[in-house]
Copies of this chain bind each other. A is one copy, B any other.
Amino acid sequence: MSQDQVPSYVEQGREFTRDTRYIDDRITRDARVPEQGPTEGVMWPVEPGRYRLIAAKACPWATRTLIVRQLLGLEDVISVGLPGPTHDARSWTFDLDEGGVDPVLGIHFLRDAYDARFPDYPRGVTVPAIVDTAGGPTQGAVVTNDFPWITHDLFFEWREHHRADAPDLWPADVRDEMEQVMQRIYTEVNNGVYRCGFAGSQEAYDAAYDRLFTALDWLEERLADRRFLMGETLTEADVRLWTTLARFDAVYHGHFKCNRNKLSEMPNLWGYARDLYQSFPAFRDNTDFDQIKAHYYRVHVDINPSGIVPKGPDLSGWDVPSERA
């Protein structure tokens, strides 16, 4: 690979800033215009069997959608395609599937589904992405990749297709506080680990590290006297925090230099993470530590030029009972 083909993730000389321009279409009940969230894009109708969720288990943003889909019992309503853990600067690929091709979409490069929607799609080919499989003019085209609203809409717009005992992931009585908690988790934790890892200067890294651990200390304290982030029931906020916690010791601690301490050295957060992992199959089933490690250590060649994937950490601790349930 010549020098100009090496993808660069580090923001040279400055702080990492995530590109958050997405295809902000939504899938809503009867294609209605919802009360909350972006309404600039196209509204697509909820239709069981029509859409395919493309979500790599390696990716924290994609894993949110896999967990929520399973928690809500939407497995028979929305199918899933799973790209492998690594990708190059161009695209995620279906390298885990037979022949390297997604059996429903018939493509190897996820980029093809983006280009089917917008020729020469100019922004990042990201997961999660929801693809239309209805067979019409938008067959095989990406409908949306606007991840925060995908899980929101799986809950609010697909309600009549949820399983009977699906959890109330967005309880109305704590909604305002939950939005604040999720906002802080997004900027300081979910994105905070990337701000550490992709910092382009010592100063940017140092500031990012302090921000991250300030937020983790806040969460450690918050979880001292409640089982879940919003109290005694599981919510969307827990799903959003989880994807970072699951990757913390395996990747972020070393690869992104988030190394004040391991997750396993913060008793409340560690017990909480194990509780989610042990109590809800949706969390365990969608967590693949091998794919997680392979993704970060192989894709970020500017941080880890050798591409070598660490054998550690010892993961046996995940099965030590949390005793928080």
CB within 8 Å of B: which residues of A?
Answer: 10, 199-202, 205-206, 209-210, 253-254, 257-262, 302-303, 305-314
Q: How far is the CB of A220 from chain B (nearest CB, A)?
A: 13
Whether the pair A259, B308 counts as a contact (CB closer than 8 A) is no
**Given the known A-B contacts A257-B254, A259-B254, A314-B261, are A305 and B308 also in contact in the complex, defined by CB atoms under 8 Å?**
no
A302→B314 CA distance, assembly (Å): 26
Whether the pair A303, B302 counts as a contact (CB closer than 8 A) is no
Q: How far is the CB of A25 from chain B (nearest CB, A)?
A: 37
Whether the pair B306, A200 counts as a contact (CB closer than 8 A) is yes
Q: How far is the CB of A303 from chain B (nearest CB, A)?
A: 7
A254→B303 CA distance, assembly (Å): 12
CB<8 Å pairs between A and B, sample of 30 = A10-B306, A199-B306, A201-B308, A202-B308, A205-B311, A206-B311, A209-B311, A209-B312, A210-B311, A253-B254, A254-B254, A254-B257, A254-B259, A257-B310, A257-B312, A258-B312, A259-B310, A259-B311, A259-B312, A259-B313, A260-B311, A260-B312, A261-B312, A261-B313, A261-B314, A302-B305, A302-B306, A303-B305, A303-B306, A305-B305
Residue of A210, A306, A307 contacting most chain B CB atoms (<10 Å)? A306
A310→B258 CA distance, assembly (Å): 8
